[in-house]
């Protein structure tokens, strides 16, 4: 059974940093692209970033480009999201999501339960 367990969320001041982690199990992690998406309280879904299987390609939403970095450690079956220069508008539940393909151009077929990031002074 595919499992995705996010961690690392919490309260951070504007301008601060956080690193989210997503521990994956139940599938061959290195074979699949992985995504981060987020959902602000009471709002819709926003795609944040994707990394291809093997990590050769990464892409970002304009709203986070230059501030967030996606990475993966296939030896640890773990996905990361380094978030710097955080703003109030980054407050959201952050979801880790597995793609259905190796390529970054793919749908997401499994989602974690999410971790809440709150940016506030």
Partner 1 sequence: DIVMTQSPDSLTVSLGERATINCKSSQSVLNSSNNRNYLAWYQQRPGQPPKLLIYWASTREFGVPDRFSGSGSGTDFSLTISSLQAEDAAVYYCQQYYNTPHTFGQGTKVEI
Task: Tell me which residues touch partner 1 (CB under 8 A).
Answer: 35, 44-47, 50, 59-62, 95, 97, 100, 104-114
- Minimum distance, C-beta of residue 103 to partner 1, in the bound complex (Å): 10
Between 91 and 106, name the residue whose CB sits nearer to partner 1: 106
| Rounded (to 5) percent helix, strand, coil in the chain | 5, 50, 45
Q: How far is the CB of 13 from partner 1 (least distance, A)?
A: 27
Give me the least distance between CB of 44 and partner 1, in Å please.
5
- Residue 63 CB, nearest approach to partner 1 (Å): 9
Collect contacts of 38-46 with beta carbons under 8 A, ≥24 apart.
38/90, 38/92, 38/93, 38/94, 38/95, 38/117, 39/92, 39/93, 39/95, 39/114, 40/89, 40/91, 40/92, 41/91, 41/92, 41/93, 43/92, 46/92
Based on CB atoms, which residue is closest to partner 1, 35 or 78? 35
Select 27 or 111, whichever has its Cβ closest to partner 1: 111
Looking at the Cβ atoms of 78 and 108, the one nearer to partner 1 is: 108
């Amino acid at each position: 059974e595919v499992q995705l367990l996010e961690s690392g969320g919490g309260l951070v001041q504007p301008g601060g940093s956080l690193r989210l982690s997503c521990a994956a199990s139940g599938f061959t992690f290195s074979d699949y692209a992985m995504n981060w998406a987020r959902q602000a309280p009471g709002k819709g879904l926003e795609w944040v970033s994707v990394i291809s299987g093997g990590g050769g390609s990464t892409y970002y939403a304009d709203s986070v480009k230059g501030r967030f970095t996606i990475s993966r450690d296939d030896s640890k079956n773990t996905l990361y999201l380094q978030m710097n220069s955080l703003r109030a508008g980054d407050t959201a539940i952050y979801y880790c999501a597995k793609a259905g393909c190796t390529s970054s151009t793919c749908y997401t077929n499994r989602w974690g339960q999410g971790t809440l990031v709150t940016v506030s002074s």
